[in-house]
Structure 1
Amino acid sequence: MFTPGQIGKEKASLVMLVRNRELTDALRSMRMIEDRFNRKYRYPWTFLNDEPFTEEFINFTTGMASGKTQYGLIGIEQWSMPEHIDLQKVQANMETMVAKNVIYAGSMSYRHMCRYNSGFFYRHELLANYDYYWRVEPAVEYYCDINYDPFELMRTNDKLYGFVMAMYEYDVTIKTLWDETKSFIKSHPQYLAPDNALDFFVDGGRASRRGDTEIKGTYNLCHFWSNFEIANLNLWRSQAYSEYFAHLDKAGGFYYERWGDAPIHSLAAGLFLPKSKIHHFGDIGYRHAPYSRCPQDIDSHMTGRCLCNRAEHFDDDGYSCLPRWWKVAGMSIGAGPRYIPH
Structure 2
Amino acid sequence: MTAATWNSRRIVKYIVIYYCLLFCVGLLYRSAITGTAFYQEITLNDRFESTSLDVLHRYDSVRRRDLLSGLKISSSTYNDDTVNEEYGGLNNSTRKENAVLLMLVRNWELPDALKSMRALEDRFNREYHYDWVFLNDVPFDERFIEATTMMASGRTKYGLIPTEDWNKPDWIDEELFESRLKEMERQKVIYGGSRSYRNMCRFNSGFFFRQKILEEYDYYFRVEPDVEYFCDFPYDPFEIMRSQKKKYGFVMTLVEYKATIPTLWNTVLDYIKQDRHRDIDKENSLYEFITDWDDVKTPKSLVQPTDNYNMCHFWSNFEIGDLNFFRSDEYLRFFDYLDRTGGFYYERWGDAPVHSIAAALLLKQDEVIHFDEISYMHAPYFTLPQADYFQLKQRCICPYKEKNRIDFRDISCLNRWWKDGTGKKFMKETYSMGGV
* Counterpart AA for 2:291: V
Give TM-score scaled by structure 2 length: 0.71
Shift of 1:204: 4.6
Q: Paired residue for 2:157?
A: 70
How far off is 1:78 after superposition? 1.1
Question: Once the 2 structures are TM-superposed, how far is the Cα of residue 303 of structure 1 from its aligned partner?
Answer: 2.8
- SS at the partner of 2:103? strand
Aligned mate of 2:288, from 199, 202, 219: 199
Q: What does the per-residue CA deviation read over 1:164-207, in whole Å, with 9 as the maximum and x for residues that have no partner?
A: 001111111111111111111211121113411111111258xx
Q: Does 1:288 align with 2:375?
A: no
CA offset digits 1:216-256 (Å, max 9, x no partner): 95211110000000010011001011011111111000000
- TM-align CA RMSD: 1.9
Aligned residues of 2:365 and 2:422 also touching (Cα < 8 A)? no
CA positional deviation for 1:333: 7.3
Q: How many residues align?
A: 321
Task: Return the match for 2:130 from 40, 43, 51.
Answer: 43
* 3-state DSSP of counterpart to 2:374: coil
The structure with the largest helix share of the pair is 2
How far the C-alpha of 1:289 sits from its partner, in A, is 0.5
Alpha-carbon distance in 1 for matches of 2:395, 2:320:
21
Q: Structure 1 residue 158 and structure 2 residue 245: aligned? A: yes
Q: Is the 8 A contact 2:233 2:394 kept in 1?
A: no
TM-score normalised to structure 1 length? 0.90
* Residue type at the aligned position of 1:284: I
Aligned to 2:278: 190
- Provide the rounded CA distance (Å) in 2 between the counterparts of 1:106 and 1:72: 27
Provide the identity percentage: 51
Match in the other structure for 2:45: none
Q: 1:63 to 1:220 in 2, by over 3 A?
A: same
Which moves more between the two structures, 185-194 or 31-40? 185-194
Which residue does the alignment assign to 1:322?
A: 414
In structure 2, what is the Cα distance between the partners aligned to 1:84 and 1:273? 31
What pairs up with 1:1-342 in 2 under 5 angstroms?
Answer: 9-188=96-275, 189-193=277-281, 194-204=283-293, 218-308=308-398, 311=402, 312-332=404-424
Aligned 8 A contact 1:297 1:334 in 2: no
1:250-298 deviation per Cα after TM superposition (whole angstroms, max 9, x unaligned) = 1000000000000000000010011110000000111000111121101
Aligned 8 A contact 2:372 2:384 in 1: no
CA contact (8 A) 2:233 2:374 kept: yes
Once the 2 structures are TM-superposed, how far is the Cα of residue 334 of structure 1 from its aligned partner?
A: 7.7
Maintained 8 Å contact 2:219/2:323: yes
How big is each residue's C-alpha offset from its partner over 1:69-113, in whole Å with a ceiling of 9 and x where there is no partner? Answer: 000000111111111111111111111111111111111000000
Q: Is the 8 A contact 2:313 2:352 kept in 1?
A: yes
Cα deviation, residue 30, structure 1: 0.2
- Judge which range, 182-191 or 24-33, deviates more: 182-191
Amino acid at match of 1:319: I
Deviation at 1:143, TM superposition (A): 1.3
Q: 1 CA distance for matches of 2:366 and 2:106? A: 36
Specify the code of the residue in structure 2 equivalent to 1:325.
Answer: W
Larger Rg: 2
Cα distance in structure 1, aligned partners of 2:165 and 2:407 = 35
Cα 1:8–1:258 shift into 2, 3 Å: farther
- Contact 2:191–2:197 at 8 Å: present in 1 too? yes
Is the Cα contact below 8 Å between 2:267 and 2:338 reproduced in 1?
yes
Structure 2 alignment gaps of length 5 or more? 1-93, 295-305, 431-436
Q: What is the DSSP-based 3-state SS (H/G/I as helix, E as strand, rest coil) of the residue aligned with 1:244?
A: helix
